[in-house]
Amino acid sequence: MHLPPSRAVGKRLRRRTPAVRPGRHAPAWLTHVLRLRRAPVPRTAMVRGALGAGPLLGAGIAAGHPGPGVLAALGAMLAGVNDRPGTRRKGLVHVGPPAAAGALGLLVGALVADGTGRWTAVPVLFLVGWVSGALSARGAGWSAAALQMLVTTTIGMGMPLAGPAWLKALCFLSGAGWLVLLRLLPRTPRSRDATRWSGEREAVAAVFDALADALEALGGPGAQDARRGLVAAQQQADEALRLMRLLPWPGRWPGRAESHRLAARFDAAVALCEASIALLWEGRAVPDEVADGPRRLAAAVRTGGPAGTLPSPRSDTVARLALDRAVLAAAVTFDRTTAGTPAPRPEPAPDTRRGAGAHSGLRPGLFAPAGQEYGLRVALCVSVTAAVALLLHEDHWYWLPATAAFLVKPDMGPLFSRVVNRFAGTVAGVIAFVALLAVPGGPGTPLVVAAVVVAGALLPLSTRHFAFQTAVITVLVLSFVHTAGDTEAAASRLLETFLACALVLLVGHLPLSADPGVRVGHRFAVTLRCTERYLRHVLDAPEPSGAAHRADARGLALRAATYRALAEARAAAETAAAELPGPFGGHRQDWPAVTVSAELVVDAATACALRVENGVPRPSSAEAERVTSALSLLAESLEDGHRVRRPAPGPGPRDCRSLRDVMTQLHGIHRLTTAGLPGPPTACPVSPS
């Protein structure tokens, strides 16, 4: 039966977009409290944690200067929070900038405490909190640095430690630098060259392993999850190789040869990933032996040897043809790089270098709507808790605003879940520290230092759950405070944490500061704009050959930026879906369903690019312009929170299946994000044809 275009769009939408069925499960805001993150045991990070804060604190006490020892241990502790698995370069980047921001915050806080009255802390924390929240909208790295700056500003103003402000900041920075130095040390007594490149080599091999998992999952219920794992592995390897080029270790030519070898093999992995996403879009399973090829390529990356025999091609669809071509190109690349003459990495032209910054160029500034929403929420919570703390305490008032800073960051998880886990973890940490004080013989210095060593070792493991992490940090902070002279801190910290949690729940859900649609809508708007840029680049370019397309640095950068933006949008949507329903009501959008539609949009755009590369007729310029304009208009609508009512996207081109799917999913996103909003409903316009 022939359907009108508007009804056909709805039918395709119901078929392609999985419906979120109401079930009998507990709400997400409740189940998120118990969610445990699975990850391997970070043994080397635990060793670094044990050698970090504890020895620094013990050295300060032994030297007769416990204050500098406490600040150095605090710097090592906060650096340990950011000590994540990955290459040594990645660790340097993830630990270094937050440590510098923390030292700056401590310097500012100490200068304010030395030169002004105590109530000056309220407006200062409001300003620093607003800057911290606004910077957090720019990404995970900015968020980590902004959080440390806010927390250390609070500590610098409230913790009574002797010494000039510059010395406090220097002690903090030296403690963080000690952990960075431990991160840079070789992990094993292998050869220097093998140790130098082991992290990057493993990152590239993980892409091939994730590709094999994605190929095995094609056509099954786990295909989407496997694709997300593949994209995540590709992004991690891309970051590792980018840092490898930006931060070269001192060495000889063999190190540069290994760098080129890894880059060439990663390029082969990128081409395979494109083909696998197109296979996912087609929705067809492939024979099991197809996954054997990426497994062998992963083993070859780890050993540096050849790929060996790969599965024979069977090109029965366009996406399968692209995969077989990519496998053949990968085999040639591996044979050439194994022979000791690696293929030179193509140097992009000056105008293509901008492609690498496509994603960063779309990040919001301090005055963008998403940045304002972040900043206002953080500033209100931190300044209100600081004012209440100053009313209750003459000294040691910093615990309330510091607790609020850890709780209220909107990009670090649902507020209710973090509040519950923060209080539960504080209770557990206080009980553990009180038990330490009750040890016969009293809490002597060796016992406190030993507790810091054990807690520092547990800190990398505690990232699996926020309550566990809070308990470990509570033991560390109480040990620092006890060493600094506050021997009655445990009981008061428990009451202050409860008060901070209550204040953050109240202030954090005010209508002015609790609109998750602003920050989540911005993330999806960035995703759609990156998709638009990628499609325009692909569809406006001259007819390329397969090799020319794969060497297109700008196209690869735009596609990588699109999937990076999609991952950030998915994380923001998961957080918003698990937020506690606000007491002031308001419309709650179905962000998980929006995420599914956005993933299908990006996958269909990638499939369109691959199909054009492999000989499928290119859509007309009018059709391409209609699709890219729809992406741009919907992005603007999501960015402004639908304050301006815009019509829904129309049906897609009839002659291009991939672009038709893009338009279908755009219509679904429009429907999901405008449902329940005031104003007249918008009908899907019918094309004249």
- Whether residue 280 has pLDDT greater than 70: yes
The two tokens of residue 397 are 């008032």
Arithmetic mean of pLDDT over the chain: 79
Q: Give the largest Cα separation in the chain, rounded.
A: 89
38-47, 70-79, 455-464, 516-525: the lowest-pLDDT one: 516-525
- Whether residue 22 has pLDDT greater than 70: no
Domains of the chain by start residue, with CATH: 41-186+363-508 (no CATH), 197-346 (no CATH), 517-674 (1.20.58)
Residues near 562 by beta carbon (within 8 Å), at least 6 away in sequence: 359, 527, 530, 531, 533, 534, 602, 605
pLDDT tens figures, 107-123: 999 999 887 778 898 99
Give the side-chain half-sphere CA count within 13 A for 121.
35
332-346, 429-443, 454-468, 606-620: the lowest-pLDDT one: 332-346
- Whether residue 18 has pLDDT greater than 60: no
Quote the pLDDT of residue 584.
45
Distances from the Cα of 260 to the Cα of 155, 255, 264, 303, 342, angstroms: 46, 9, 6, 16, 6
- Whether residue 428 has pLDDT greater than 50: yes
Asked if 47 and 66 count as a contact pair (C-beta separation under 8 A), the reply is no
Quote the pLDDT of residue 529.
93
pLDDT tens figures, 488-514: 777 788 888 999 999 988 887 776 565
- Whether residue 278 has pLDDT greater than 70: yes
Residues near 162 by beta carbon (within 8 Å), at least 6 away in sequence: 67
Is residue 137 within a helix (H) or strand (E), and if so which, with residue range?
A: none
Distance CA 640, CA 637 (A): 5
pLDDT tens figures, 589-604: 788 889 999 998 998 8
- Whether residue 170 has pLDDT greater than 90: yes
Distance CA 499, CA 402 (A): 12
pLDDT tens figures, 635-648: 888 877 655 556 66
Quote the pLDDT of residue 361.
43
- Whether residue 166 has pLDDT greater than 50: yes
Region 173-186: mean pLDDT is 88
Region 73-81: mean pLDDT is 92
- Helix H, strand E, coil C: the string for 5-61 is HHHHHHHHHHHHCCCCCCCCCCCHHHHHHHCCCCCCCCHHHHHHHHCCHHHHHHHHH
Region 622-635: mean pLDDT is 88
Distance CA 371, CA 136 (A): 8
Region 605-622: mean pLDDT is 83
pLDDT-above-70 percentage for the chain:
79
- Whether residue 69 has pLDDT greater than 70: yes
Residues near 433 by beta carbon (within 8 Å), at least 6 away in sequence: 451, 474, 475, 478, 479, 490
The two tokens of residue 243 are 């840092």
Q: If DSSP codes are grouped into helix, strand and coil, which group holds residue 488?
A: coil
262-276, 321-335, 583-597: the lowest-pLDDT one: 583-597
This prediction has a pTM of 0.79
Asked if 457 and 47 count as a contact pair (C-beta separation under 8 A), the reply is yes
pLDDT band at residue 609 using 50, 70 and 90 as cut-offs: confident
Region 199-215: mean pLDDT is 89
Q: How many CB atoms lie within 10 A of CB 361?
A: 12
Distance CA 98, CA 104 (A): 10
- Whether residue 93 has pLDDT greater than 70: yes
pLDDT tens figures, 232-259: 898 888 888 888 877 766 554 445 677 7
Q: How many CB atoms lie within 10 A of CB 173?
A: 21
Quote the pLDDT of residue 242.
84
Region 263-288: mean pLDDT is 84
Region 377-394: mean pLDDT is 89
pLDDT tens figures, 515-569: 667 778 888 999 999 999 999 888 876 655 444 444 467 778 888 889 888 988 8
